[in-house]
Structure 1
Amino acid sequence: MNEEIVTRIQQVIDFYGLTVSAFADEIGVQRSSISHLLNGRNKPSLDFVLKLITAYPEVDLYWLLKGEGSFPPATIESKQNVDENTTKTIAPPIVPSETESITTKGIGSKTIKTKQIALFYTDGTFEVFNPKKD
C-alpha cells in the first residue's frame, strides 16, 4: 500500500513538472522528507498528506490515499501550462488631478494635500475617490 501512495505522489510531482526540491518547497516540507518517501524509507504522515492537498486542492484525497478516482481531473491542465497561459491584469496607473485636493496632514510648516484615494481589492478591481475641492 505504501508503494502505491508513493507512486501517486510521484504522479503529482510529474504532472506539475516539478523537481523534488521544488515540490517540497511548494508544500512546505523538508526536501529530505520527499526523498525518504520516494525511496521507500518513510511513509507519508497525515501532516504531509494535508500539506499536499492544501497546496494542490485539485488532488483528490481518496485518489491519493486509496487510488480511487483519477488524477488529474479532466477539468484542469498542468499547473505549468496554466501559469504560462495566465494573463495577469494590472490596474492602470492613477494620475491624480492637480485641481482636486484637500488638506489632510500637516508636517511642520509644510502642508500636504491629498489628490486622490484609491482602494485596491484582492480580486484585482479598484475604486478611485476624488476629494472635494477646497
Structure 2
Amino acid sequence: MVNQEDFTKRLRKLLRYYDLSASAFADRIGVQRSSISHLLTGRNKPSLDFILKVNDTFPEVDLYWFLKGKGTFPKTSSDTDLPVTPTPSLLKKAQNPNIGEHHKSVDKIIILHSDGSFKIYGGD
C-alpha cells in the first residue's frame, strides 16, 4: 500500500528535480493539472495510469522508489543492469554464434535509446 504522505514528498522531489511546476509536470506527462493538485494535497492516491505516464516520460524514476520509497532517485546505471549468469549453452553459443543457425540472415536491427525512443533498420 502506498503511504500517501510519503508519496506526496517523493512527487514534490520530482517536481524540484526537474524544476517543473505542478501544471508543467501535468502537461509533460499528459494528465489533467487538477490530478497533480489532488495528489499533492493528499485528496487522491496515484492511479496506475499516472504511475505509468511518469515512468514513460521520466525513465530515470525508479518505480519502486516512487511508490514505496525504497531504492534510489534518480536511477543509477547499475539499477538497470541485471546480473547475467552465463549458462553452458550460452557460453558455447558465444564461442560459435552459428550453432543451431540454419543459414539465417538478419531481417532488421532495432536500436533502443536511453530516452525510450528507437530506430528500426530494415524489415519493412
The TM-score bracket by the shorter chain reads: 0.5 to 0.7
Structure with the higher fraction of residues in helix conformation: 2
Q: TM-score, normalised by structure 1?
A: 0.54
In the alignment, which residue of structure 1 is the partner of 2:64?
62
How many Å separate the matches in 2 of 1:46 and 1:3? Answer: 18
Flag structure 2 segments of 5+ consecutive residues without an equivalent.
Answer: 78-116, 119-124
Q: Over the residues paired in the alignment, what is the CA RMSD in angstroms?
A: 1.8
In the alignment, which residue of structure 2 is the partner of 1:45?
47
In the alignment, which residue of structure 1 is the partner of 2:108?
none
Flag structure 1 segments of 5+ consecutive residues without an equivalent.
Answer: 76-121, 124-134
Following TM superposition, the consecutive aligned residue runs of length 4 or more in structure 1 with deviations greater than 3 angstroms are none
In the alignment, which residue of structure 1 is the partner of 2:16?
14
CA shift, 1:5, in A, is 1.1
CA shift, 1:73, in A, is 3.2
Aligned length: 77
In the alignment, which residue of structure 1 is the partner of 2:92?
none
Aligned ranges for residues 78-97 of structure 1 at < 5 Å? none
Identity, % of aligned positions = 58
CA shift, 1:74, in A, is 4.9
How many Å separate the matches in 2 of 1:41 and 1:29? Answer: 16
Q: TM-score, normalised by structure 2?
A: 0.58
Larger radius of gyration: 1
